[in-house]
């Protein structure tokens, strides 16, 4: 398999899950105060914030006490969150006001929360300057770049390859450059076992990628 194949597979399957989850949270936010059949009452902002903080997968091991304390602190800072100008400001706000104060709420939780909150509010705030790397994404990026990586990397300006044509060298975008910053983070995370320097392991198959692809195609609100 080539890197181009892996990117195409990612966009067909894995990316759909990410955007389905984001659209689900945004829909809940825009539909707040309406009756929720699962809860048997109208949705509140607290209900929606709980979904933003603790989701199956990345935050499955977060305690409910940590979730509820994070929600309380988000509520306190909600006006600041809505007024943030860009994703970097939103991410730093969450790290300073929530991550530093809530035990069991780490860097990955801060990034995921910033993504969900940024997607939820209007106008949307998305990571346009940097790719944010932690956990699996950090492993995948380190293997791909062939060096240690920082928490924030300007991947878009790094992922170029050099080709020779007519005796001259040209720098052309890597196949990952077609992805948005949040998609680059997601593909590094989802497929991190298979990245190699400047590419993907050629022995990887679609079955391998499918086994690393989340399959929960429907957003669910959790009654707890």
pLDDT at 87 over 80: yes
If one compares 222 and 143, the residue with the highest pLDDT of the two is 143
Mean pLDDT of the chain: 82
If one compares 11 and 20, the residue with the highest pLDDT of the two is 11
Burial 110-127 (b: 16+ CB within 10 A, else e): bbbbbbbbbbbbeeebbb
If one compares 37 and 102, the residue with the highest pLDDT of the two is 102
Residue where the block lists tokens 């790290």: 95
Tell me what the mean pLDDT of segment 5-19 comes to: 86
pLDDT of residue 96: 93
Indicate the pLDDT class of residue 50, thresholds 50, 70 and 90: confident
Sign of the torsion formed by the C-alpha atoms of 205, 207, 212 and 214: positive
Indicate the pLDDT class of residue 222, thresholds 50, 70 and 90: very low
pLDDT of residue 91: 93
pLDDT at 56 over 60: no
What's the CA gap between 127 and 209, in Å, rounded? Answer: 25
pLDDT at 76 over 80: yes
Tell me what the mean pLDDT of segment 99-126 comes to: 87
For residue 205, the tally of other CB atoms under 10 A from its CB is: 12
**Strongest mean pLDDT among 53-67, 102-116, 160-174:** 102-116
* Cα torsion through 207, 208, 211, 213, rounded to 10: -100
What's the CA gap between 151 and 173, in Å, rounded? Answer: 22
Instruction: Please confirm whether the linkage preceding 123 is cis (ω < 30° from 0).
Output: yes
Q: What is the SS3 assignment for 196?
A: strand
pTM: 0.81
């Amino acid at each position: 398999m080539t890197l181009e194949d892996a990117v195409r597979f990612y966009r067909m399957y894995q990316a759909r899950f990410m955007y389905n989850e984001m659209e689900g949270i945004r829909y809940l936010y825009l539909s707040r105060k309406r009756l929720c059949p699962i809860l048997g009452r109208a949705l509140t902002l607290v209900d929606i914030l709980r979904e933003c903080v603790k989701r199956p997968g990345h935050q499955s091991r977060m305690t409910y006490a940590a979730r509820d304390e994070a929600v309380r602190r988000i509520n306190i800072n909600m006006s600041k969150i809505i007024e943030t100008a860009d994703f970097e400001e939103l991410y730093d706000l969450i790290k300073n006001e929530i991550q530093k104060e809530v035990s069991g709420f780490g860097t990955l939780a801060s990034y995921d929360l910033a993504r969900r909150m940024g997607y939820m509010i209007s106008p949307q705030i998305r990571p346009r300057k940097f790719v944010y790397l932690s956990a699996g994404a950090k492993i995948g990026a380190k293997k791909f770049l062939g060096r240690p990586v920082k928490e924030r990397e300007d991947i878009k300006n790094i992922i170029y390859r050099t080709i020779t044509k007519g005796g001259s060298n040209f720098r052309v975008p890597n196949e990952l450059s077609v992805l948005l910053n949040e998609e680059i983070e997601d593909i590094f995370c989802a497929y991190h076992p298979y990245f190699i320097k400047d590419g993907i392991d050629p022995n990887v198959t679609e079955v391998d990628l499918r086994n690393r692809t989340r399959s929960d195609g429907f957003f669910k609100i959790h009654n707890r």
